[in-house]
Amino acid sequence: MIRRSSSTHRGTTGTARGVTLAARLLFALLPGFRTVFDLAPQPGDVFWTPSDWAWLGALGEVVLAAAYLGCPIVASPGRFSAAGSYEIMSADAVTCAFLAPVVLRRMRQSPPPVGMRFALRAIMTGGERFTGEIRRFVEDSFGASLNDDYGLTEGTHLAVGCEAAFRNPPGAVGRALPGRDIAVLAADDDDSVAAGQLGEIAVAAADPIVMLGYWNAGASIGARSPAAGSGRVTSARWMPTDFSGFSVASAMS
């Protein structure tokens, strides 16, 4: 189990940087997609997100993966509104949605009308922490699972939740996906720290989920280019995430 402590840039607040992704990415996305949406696809699944499809969180982690598996995807033009989102999810019988924490907070401020029916069974969120109040809102309003997805554009689906299989303890972003080589590294070298000790979360640079490099940056991960904004350079084995965190050994299997 991975617990994220902090980050210094990127995500919804960092400076935009283009990344070069390989065609292999689609197949690398599928295990995380299946897991974070509670063992998707299930019969009758319909997918939707109000997030911009130009973002990897929407395009890769929802649209491309669902399309590859032959699942219906609802496309909705226009700006986000809580009322409009409720109408879409109800009318189109959406079962699986990607709703960023900021979206869930706005929904909680404007709850759905009493009696409105939903088919939701699993909601993926990620990009920042969500509170216990948000989880209770999702359970009370939709009767759906709320699963965190931890990752970056540079390397996504690093750790995920899956309430169909386990429930994340408070503060945890999820379990590392089987086969994904994740480490929590010491500050001054590439050695992993002991379980429970704070370090920098990193993913194996050779993992197919990892970018080839930054767009027009003139370097690749294999050329010992740091993937994060802190300026740290690791060996060619790891891509650092610039996130601090720690692992819980008993939950990593």
19 bridge partner residues: 214
Alpha-carbon gap, residue 98 to 51, rounded angstroms: 8
pLDDT of residue 7: 29
Would you state the structure tokens that stand for residue 200, as one six-digit string?
């920098």
Residues 6+ apart with CB under 8 A from 50: 76, 80, 85, 99, 103
Average pLDDT of 77-101?
96
Amino acid (1-letter code) at residue 28: A
Would you state the structure tokens that stand for residue 29, as one six-digit string?
């996305």
Q: Which CATH class is domain 10-251?
A: alpha beta
Q: What residue ranges do the domains of the chain occupy?
A: 10-251
pTM equals: 0.86
pLDDT, tens digit (0-9, with 9 covering 90-100), for 122-176: 999 998 877 889 999 999 999 999 999 999 889 999 999 999 999 888 778 889 9
Alpha-carbon gap, residue 201 to 246, rounded angstroms: 8
